[in-house]
């Protein structure tokens, strides 16, 4: 298998991609454009994308009739701008020098003298290592340090740790004992209780950091958001609760309740949309 090398060059905040073909190195700055004439090759299908190290991904795809070469594209968002890595005549390659613990989406297209065909559907892959992402969420006992923006008090730097999880009938018993007026889940739902520890490391002007369950978003296995009002922090009376304020140097532990579908493998994310968002697996104990 010929191997497709990627060298990341950062110049004036613009990333250039260097691809390797069997004829030598070629530099590409081509974006996600497609020639759709009738004589161009068809659409490849990516059969596997596997992270083999902290910085490498093995990629394989189907052969396309009439193709003379294949181009590989990457993005860090499935709906974002895809950059061309390089080209190869083979139906497999190794992508090098990717970021550690980072999620990428990859596409492949086939080309001949008539032009470039339609690109494949994107596939998601996360390199190995210490990164955190939706496809590589944190589990019990893992701590992450993040900076949370606040338009009132300014940014706050915290460390968050998932300490434990309780689900099913055991979780409902705890919820009911905490407050008998708490909503009982229907036959398709269950509570998951997650215990978190937050250590406040820094805040602007030494202001307190507000700790509450709405810091989290709840996301289904399919990537659909649960209704926050209906699903997060629904159970009242849990002790210790997850609602307080803490100054830098302070630490708080408390339970957060999540009402989820029984057949789902949901995730929660804190600081969503920011560079330091952190994902946690609510089925990490199973």
Which distant-in-sequence residues (6+ apart) come within 8 Å of 84 by Cβ? 17, 19, 28, 29, 30, 31, 71, 72, 73
Low-confidence winner among 9-13, 46-50, 170-174 (lowest mean pLDDT): 9-13
- Give the pLDDT confidence of 55-105 residue by residue, as tens digits: 889 999 999 999 999 999 999 888 889 999 999 999 999 998 887 777 899
Q: Which residue has the higher pLDDT, 98 or 34?
A: 98
Residue 127 has pLDDT above 90, yes or no: no
CATH topology of domain 143-281: Immunoglobulin-like (2.60.40)
75 contacts 82 by C-beta, under 8 angstroms: yes
**What does residue 109 show for φ and ψ, rounded to 5 degrees?**
-130, 160
Determine which of 41-50, 99-108, 213-222, 253-262 has the lowest per-residue pLDDT on average.
99-108
CATH tag for 7-126 (out of 2.60.40.10, 3.20.20.70, 3.40.50.11710, 3.60.15.10): 2.60.40.10
- For residue 240, cis peptide bond before it (omega within 30 degrees of 0): yes
Confidence at 129, pLDDT banded by 50, 70, 90: low
Residue of 173, 130, 168, 146 lying closest to 283 (CA atoms): 168
Indicate whether 165 pLDDT > 60. yes
Q: What are the sequence ranges of the domains in the chain?
A: 7-126, 143-281
- Assessment of whether the complete model's pTM goes beyond 0.85: no
> b/e for 216-253, b at 16 or more Cβ within 10 A?
bbbbeeeeeebeeeebbbbbeebeebbeeebebeeebe
Beta bridge partners of 20: 25
């Amino acid at each position: 298998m010929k191997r497709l090398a990627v060298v990341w060059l950062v110049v004036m905040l613009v990333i250039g991609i260097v691809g390797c073909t069997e004829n030598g190195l070629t530099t590409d700055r081509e974006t996600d454009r497609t020639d759709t004439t009738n004589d161009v090759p068809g659409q490849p299908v990516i059969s596997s994308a596997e992270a083999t190290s902290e910085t490498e991904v093995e990629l394989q795809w189907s052969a396309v009739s009439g193709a003379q070469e294949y181009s590989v594209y990457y993005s860090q968002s499935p709906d974002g701008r895809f950059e061309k890595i390089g080209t190869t005549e083979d139906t497999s390659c190794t992508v090098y020098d990717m970021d550690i613990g980072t999620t990428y989406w990859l596409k492949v297209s086939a080309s001949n003298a008539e032009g470039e065909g339609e690109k494949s559907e994107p596939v998601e892959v996360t390199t190995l290592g210490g990164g955190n992402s939706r496809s590589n969420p944190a589990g019990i006992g893992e701590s992450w340090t993040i900076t949370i923006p606040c338009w009132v008090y300014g940014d706050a730097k915290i460390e968050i740790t998932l300490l434990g999880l309780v689900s099913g009938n055991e979780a409902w018993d705890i919820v009911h004992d905490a407050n008998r007026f708490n909503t009982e889940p229907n036959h398709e739902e269950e509570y998951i209780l997650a215990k978190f520890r937050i250590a406040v490391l820094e805040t602007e002007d030494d202001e307190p950091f507000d700790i509450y369950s709405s810091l989290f978003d709840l996301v289904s296995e399919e990537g659909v958001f649960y209704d926050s009002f209906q699903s997060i922090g629904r159970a009242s009376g849990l002790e210790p609760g997850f609602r307080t304020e803490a100054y830098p140097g302070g630490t708080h532990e408390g339970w957060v309740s999540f009402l989820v579908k029984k057949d789902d493998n949901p995730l929660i994310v804190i600081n969503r949309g920011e560079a330091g968002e952190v994902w946690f697996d609510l089925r990490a104990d199973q």
